[in-house]
Structures are given as structure tokens and as C-alpha cells.
Amino acid sequence: MDSAARIVPCLRYRKAAAAIDWLCNAFGFEKHLVAPGENDTIAHAQLTFGNSMVMLSSVQDSDFGRLMKQPDEIGGAETQTAYLIVADADEHYAKAKSAGAEIVMDI
């Protein structure tokens, strides 16, 4: 079996293109695949981080898309999370914070 990740989180963003750029800048993800959709949306994207990956797209009105809610639709609660395992958490924290990440729990 190869060392590729076997579980891939799937995330949704209203401004997916901006989220992709921010995730790459703030956390060091790399664009593996970005498939544009209609009306400046992202139909599907794959971002890699080492041997791991997240998939994401724009919020969509589809059978699958309606299963996911955005925080402002449910009183501000977060509906999706992903953990990154990094060699230097303090360095990653500083980079994310300097890129505008809202720190809700200090490390």
C-alpha cells in the first residue's frame, strides 16, 4: 500500500477561489487540481499537504451540497475542521496568524 492519505476531508466555501489562495499562503497547501465552475465558482479542487489532501469546492445547490451548512446558516457554529500535523507548530501558527487567520484557541 502506498503512503498516500486514505481519508480526504471535503470542504465547502462561498469564496472557494479566495480560500484556495489563502490556504496555500497561510498553511502551505499546494494546488494539485483546480477545476473552475460556472459564474466564478470552483467545481472541484484538490490541495495537497505532504502526502495528505483536502478537496474543496464552492457552496453548491445540489443533493450533496445541501447536506453541508455554512456557519452563518446555523448560528455561527463551525461545520468543518481539518487538523494539520506539522514539524513546527509555532512557526505554522505565526504564518497563519500573519496571513489573517482568526485564532479561536491559542496553542
Q: Which domains does the chain have, with CATH numbers?
A: 10-98 (3.10.180.10)
Residue 1 in this model has a pLDDT that exceeds 70: no
Between residues 54 and 106, the one the model is more confident about: 54
- Helices H / strands E in the chain, number of each: 2, 4
pLDDT exceeds cutoff 60 at 8: yes
| pTM of the complete model beyond 0.85 | no
pLDDT at residue 3, as a whole number: 72
Are 37 and 105 contacting, i.e. CB atoms less than 8 angstroms apart?
no
Dump pLDDT digits (tens) for 67-103.
888 889 899 888 777 777 888 999 989 998 999 988 8
| pLDDT tens-digit series, residues 22-75 | 999 998 999 999 999 999 999 999 999 988 999 999 998 888 888 888 889 899
- Residue 105: per-residue pLDDT: 83
* Neighbouring-strand partners of residue 12: 57
Q: Which three cell numbers stand for residue 19?
A: 480560500
